[in-house]
Amino acid sequence: MREIISFHFGQSGAQLASPLWELYCLEHGINLDGSVSNNSEIQENDTNREILFSETQNNRYVPLAYIADDDDYSIDQIKNGQLKKLFSTKSLQEFKGDSGSIWISSYKSAQASENFRNQIHQLLDKCDSLQGIMIYHSVSGGFGGSYASYLLNEFEDDFSKVIKSTVSMLSSDQNSTSTIVEPYNSVFTINQLKQYSNFNIFIDNSALSQVCERQLEIDWANFGILNKMIAQMIASITSTQRLNSENFVDLQDMYQNLVLLPELQFLHTSYAPFIQRDQQNSSSVNLLQISQALFNEAGSFIKFTPNPSQYFGVNLFYRGDCPYSDLQSTINELKNSKCINFADWVPINYQVAMSSKSTVQFHNAELGRGNKTACLVANSTRILNPLKNIQSRFKNLYQKKCFLHWFLKNSQIDESQFVNGLDFFSSLLSNYEQSISQDINQEKQNVDDEASIEEIDEINK
């Protein structure tokens, strides 16, 4: 089985674990204690549970996951919550320390932990044919940023043949509840992700809060609500390979389609439709409307400026009632759309994945259930906006050498690493800028008006 191991690091990673694994259990007919649900409508051959779970000798399913933080709170929430029987005890780890959100201090404690390395090896041993890893964390967290970086670096050889991906929370000024050293941590983390991973899906909480406010009329969405929305997005991305869809896309396919150049590996995502819970039965939207919404700010998990953007790769994940003929005409419309521009050196390619199984809803979810949903993962210049935000906040702090002493303390890090770190980060932005076609309003490339269903299949090969 082509397994995926999930790593949840730091508060944001750990808190996301509960809704994500609850959803996975619901979708795979697994009770929250790991046993298989008798009442489930899900047939054995409907699901590839073993992509995400390992089966024990007494027929229980245990997530192929590892959750760690240096703060008791987020781990205790899982240990005492409704998923307390789902995870193996070894996969829930508190690493006590006093790193104080300082990236380099956490990195050093990861390096010093033999326990951590042993546990990761044990997890790897459970896999027959590992497809990839997905790391959930915040780039700005001392713990989440550095443990993700250390894992990728230390296990580079073990992971050499698998896809290394992350779902990375970005810090933004407005919504940040954490520390003032976030810009430093973010630059250090993102530089490491660039060197040691294949692709990274960035999420900005403030964009997601805006979606909640505008689409779901939730004035102040807490992390619990945001995490449920992120979980739905992730479940869509992994749905087609988990649920035995004919049109499936796995991590390798995503990597091949979205990362045409290794310099450009930072991705963003959108979801549609956002239906309010009390309107879920009355709302009827068609596939084209949903698909177009994915390219607007309305459903975007990052904020972007109204400037025209250029795409370097697009993946679309559909779920539910999406007949092939509608899908085919929708993709043709998108190809012809004047609003969606690909860079001129990139083939216009919409990689499409489709699962006929609709999304499953959380009990009491804020987001109503749609009979069809779509999720976009894209590589585009839209990612420049949040990255530039981090760059300018780093510069503001570093100009005055604010909080530098926390990093330099005990010679943990040399000041030159700040200068080099910023240079490297700036070069990541330049890579994107240099990839923009000069004539942004270029004529759209020739589009075959009569793409056939076979063509959609072709796209997915």
Sign, CA torsion 302/308/311/317: positive
Q: Which does 315 bind (CB under 5 to 8 A by kind): Mg ion, ligand GTP, none?
A: none
* Shortest distance, position 105 Cβ to ligand GTP, whole Å: 9
Least distance CB 36 / ligand GTP (angstroms)? 29
Could you tell me if 227 and 15 are in contact, meaning their C-beta atoms sit under 8 angstroms apart? Answer: yes
Which stretch, 172-180, 255-263, 393-401, 427-435, contacts ligand GTP (CB under 6 A)? 172-180
Residue 421 binds to ligand GTP (criterion: CB under 6 A): no
- Nearest distance from residue 27's CB to Mg ion, in Å? 29
- Give me the amino acid identity at 172: S
Pick from 5, 169, 211, 316 the residue near ligand GTP by CB under 6 A.
Answer: 169
Asked if 77 touches ligand GTP (CB under 6 A), the answer is no
Of 171, 198, 238, 265, which lies in the binding site for ligand GTP, with binding defined by CB under 6 A?
A: 171
Which partner in Mg ion, ligand GTP, none is near 65 (CB below 5 to 8 A by kind)? none
Q: Residue 177 binds which entry of Mg ion, ligand GTP, none, with Cβ cut-offs from 5 to 8 Å by kind?
A: ligand GTP
Which range of residues in 28-36, 171-179, 356-364, 424-432 is near ligand GTP by CB under 6 A?
171-179
What are 253's two structure tokens? 């396919």
197 binds, among Mg ion, ligand GTP, none (CB under 5 to 8 A by kind): none
Asked if residue 381 binds ligand GTP (CB under 6 A), the reply is no
Task: Tell me the residue nearest to Mg ion as measured from the CB.
Answer: 11
389: enclosing H helix or E strand: helix 384-399
**What one-character-per-residue DSSP string does 148-176 give?**
HHHHHHHTTTTTTTSEEEEEEEEP-TTT-
Least Cβ distance, residue 415 to ligand GTP (angstroms): 21
- Paired sense of beta strands 132-138 and 4-9, if any: parallel
Select 169 or 331, whichever has its Cβ closest to ligand GTP: 169
* 143 vs 159 by CB, closer to ligand GTP: 143
Q: Which of 171, 201, 176, 203 is nearest to 188 (CA)?
A: 171
Alpha-carbon distance of 270 to 295, in angstroms, equals 8
Q: How far is the CB of 222 from Mg ion (least distance, A)?
A: 17
What token pair was written down for 207?
A: 């964009």
* 104: contact with ligand GTP by CB under 6 A: no
Closest approach of Cβ 10 to Mg ion, in Å?
Answer: 5
Q: Which is nearer to ligand GTP, 10 or 132 (CB)?
A: 10
77 closest CA partner among 135, 19, 35: 19
As to burial, measured by CB atoms within 10 angstroms (0-12 exposed, 13-18 middle, 19+ buried), residue 161 is exposed
Contact between 12 and ligand GTP per CB under 6 A: yes
For residue 5, the surrounding DSSP H or E stretch is strand 4-9
Binding status of residue 239 toward ligand GTP by CB under 6 A:
no
If one asks whether residue 183 binds ligand GTP (CB under 6 A), the answer comes out as: no
Buried b / exposed e across 24-56, counting CB within 10 Å, b at 16+? bbbbbbbbbebebeeeeebeeebbbbbbbbbee
Q: Which is nearer to Mg ion, 136 or 159 (CB)?
A: 136
Q: Is 222 helix (H, G, I), strand (E, B) or coil?
A: coil
Is residue 226 at the binding interface for ligand GTP, with CB under 6 A as the rule?
yes
- Is residue 13 within 8 A of residue 138, CB to CB? The reply is yes
268: which strand partners? 378
Specify the pairing of strand 132-138 against strand 163-170: parallel
Binding site for Mg ion (CB under 5 A): 11, 71
205 contacts ligand GTP (rule: CB under 6 A): yes
Token output for 103: 């990236």
Q: Which of 69, 204, 250, 253 binds ligand GTP (CB under 6 A)?
A: 69
Q: At what angle do helices 10-27 and 142-154 cross, to 10 degrees?
A: 70
* Residue from the set 179, 276, 417, 426 that interacts with ligand GTP by CB under 6 A: 179
* Helices 142-154 and 114-125, packing angle to 10 deg: 60
Classify each residue of 323-359 as buried b or exposed e, where b means 16 or more C-beta atoms within 10 Å of its C-beta. Answer: eeebbbebbbebbeeeebbbbeebebbbbbbbbbbbb
- In whole angstroms, the minimum distance from the beta carbon of 136 to ligand GTP comes to 9
Task: Return the residue of 101, 131, 168, 379 that touches ligand GTP, per CB under 6 A.
Answer: 101
Does position 105 bind ligand GTP by CB under 6 A?
A: no
CA distance 223 to 112: 31
The interface with ligand GTP within residues 126-165 (CB under 6 A) comprises 138, 140-144
Residues making contact with ligand GTP (CB under 6 A): 10-12, 15-16, 69, 99, 101, 106, 138, 140-144, 169, 171, 175-179, 205, 223, 226-227
